[in-house]
Amino acid sequence: MTVTAPRAQLCIWTNIDPAFEADFNRWYDREHMQERVAIPGFQFARRFKALHDCARPYLALYCTRDAGVFTSEPYAQAFQHQTEWSLRNFARMQGTQRRVGTLDIEAGEGQGGMLAMFVLSEAVVAQAHARLGAQLAELAQGDGIVRATLQVTVPTLSVSLTAKDAPLPPADAVVLIEGTDPDAVHTAAQTLAAAYGVPAGEVTRFAMLWRLGANDD
C-alpha cells in the first residue's frame, strides 16, 4: 500500500497600518502571490479579508504538495532573495501570525468564497483528532458549506526563516470552514468552536479576495 503524505498549508494572518494598506494590497496582488506559487511544490494561493473588525483582518493561505516543500532549497532561496517591495511590506505588517501545518483533514469539495476560522489548542488537538474528522466531514455536507479542514501546526516549520531565533509556536491547529453562505459558514464554525471551549469572539469570518493557481497564466 502506498502511503501519501498529507498536503500542507502556510497560513498567514496579519494587520497593516491604513497608511500603507493600498501598497500592501498592490504588492500582494501584483508580486507576492505570484512569487510564492512559482516555488516548486506550491499548488495555489488565496487571499481573504475579514468581514468584521478584528486584530488581523488579512489572511493568506498557500497550499503545497506536502510539508517537505517548506524545507526545500527553492523555498529557502525565495527567502534569501526578497525584493525591496517585499521587505518594505514585511516590516509594515502588524501582529502577524504564521502557521505551517499539515492538512490532516480535508472534507468536502472545492473551495468556498466565504471562510470562518479559529484555532484549537495543542491539548484539544491531541485529545479530539479522531472525533474532529467525523465532525468536519458532517459539517462539509451542510447547506451553504463546501469544505472543512484541519491544519495541524508543525512548530519547527512555522517560524519565519528571517526570524530563526523566535520561539516555536505550539502544535495547535487551525480549523477552516468554507462555503457559499456566510451565515451558514459562521454558524457552523461557531458551533464547533463552542464544543471545544473556543469563545465566539475568536472565530474570524473572511471573504475571499482572489485565488492564484500554480498553473494559471
Q: Report yes or no on 129 lying in a domain.
A: yes
Q: What is the CATH number of the domain that holds 201?
A: 3.30.70.100
Q: Report yes or no on 1 lying in a domain.
A: no
Q: Report yes or no on 3 lying in a domain.
A: no
143 neighbors 159 (Cβ within 8 angstroms): no
37 neighbors 213 (Cβ within 8 angstroms): yes
Q: Considering its fold, how many domains does the chain have in total? A: 1
- The whole-model pTM stands at 0.95
DSSP letter at 38? Answer: T
One pLDDT digit (tens) per residue for the chain, 217 residues: 455 789 999 999 999 999 999 999 999 999 999 999 999 999 999 999 999 999 999 999 999 999 999 999 999 999 889 999 999 999 999 999 999 999 999 999 999 999 999 999 999 999 999 999 999 999 999 999 999 999 999 999 998 766 667 788 899 999 999 999 999 999 999 999 999 999 999 999 999 999 999 987 5
Question: End-to-end alpha-carbon separation of the chain, Å?
Answer: 36
Q: Report yes or no on 112 lying in a domain.
A: yes
Q: Report yes or no on 2 lying in a domain.
A: no
Q: Which domain holds residue 173?
A: 8-213
CA dihedral 128, 46, 76, 161 (to 10 degrees): -60
